Amino acid sequence: MKDLVREFTKGIFKENPTFVLALGLCPTLAVSVTVANGIGMGLAATFVLLGSSVIISLVRNFIPGKIRIPCFIVIIATFVTITELCLKAYSPVLNRALGIYVPLIVVNCIVLGRAEAFACKNSVLSSLLDGLGMGVGFTIALIMISGIREFLGSGQILGHTLIKGFEPVFVFGMPSGALLVIGLLLGLFNVLKNMKS
């Protein structure tokens, strides 16, 4: 039981996909302009991570080691496409919020990374928890980055102005600002990790 809890919590801090494993930085840079975007991308990625981790750990004994990567990619892409089609057809509200992020997840290396590093070697339950934990960690990381960027870059959080008369620093709304924020947070995470150990 304790091990299972650890599978879940490790993705949030100890092996945070963005700040510690440094996976999936490309979509992170691109979408972390506003908090709303960050939450959307985070939720969509969590859902796909969950689904693909479960499916891959289900078929892990059937896939030969030498051709596992193409097999994983086919499985992940199929899962993402099915998710996208279902969202479009049955949930227009959710689709409007997450729509553009779902196809982006195919190129998110966290999904393939977890399939390769964890789901293909572990049971369904621990893969599910691992996927969920990684997704939550990714979402938290995105919210942190986009929160800082939205506040400094446009003086708002979730579209609401917090401080009247605050002069926004536009560079934080640009990709260069994203690199700065991610770099500083990555450093902060490493400092915290070193202090702990």
Partner 1 sequence: MKEMMRYGFILALICVVAAGLLAAVNSLTHPKIIAQTQAEEQAALKEVMPLASKFAEVKSDKDKDALYYKAFNNQDKLVGFVFKASSKGYSSQIQTLAGVFLDQKISAVKVISQNETPGLGAKITEDKFSEQFKNRSSLDLSGVEAITGATISSHAVISSVEKKARQIRELIKNER
Kindly list the residues in this chain that would bind partner 1 in the complex (CB under 8 A).
Answer: 33-34, 62-64, 66-67, 70-71, 74-75, 77-78, 81-82, 85-86, 88-90, 92, 150, 153-156, 168, 170, 173-174
Torsion of CA 37, 86, 53, 19, to 10 degrees: 0
Given a contact cutoff of 8 angstroms between Cβ atoms, the answer to whether 91 and 69 are in contact is: no
Rounded to a whole number of angstroms, the CA Rg of the chain reads 18
- Name residue 144's amino acid: M
**Between 40 and 153, CB nearer to partner 1:** 153
**Between 16 and 53, CB nearer to partner 1:** 53
- Name residue 168's amino acid: P
**Between 53 and 126, CB nearer to partner 1:** 53
- Residue 13 Cβ, how far from partner 1 at the closest point, in Å? 29
- Residue 68 Cβ, how far from partner 1 at the closest point, in Å? 10
Given a contact cutoff of 8 angstroms between Cβ atoms, the answer to whether 13 and 185 are in contact is: no
- Residue 99 Cβ, how far from partner 1 at the closest point, in Å? 11
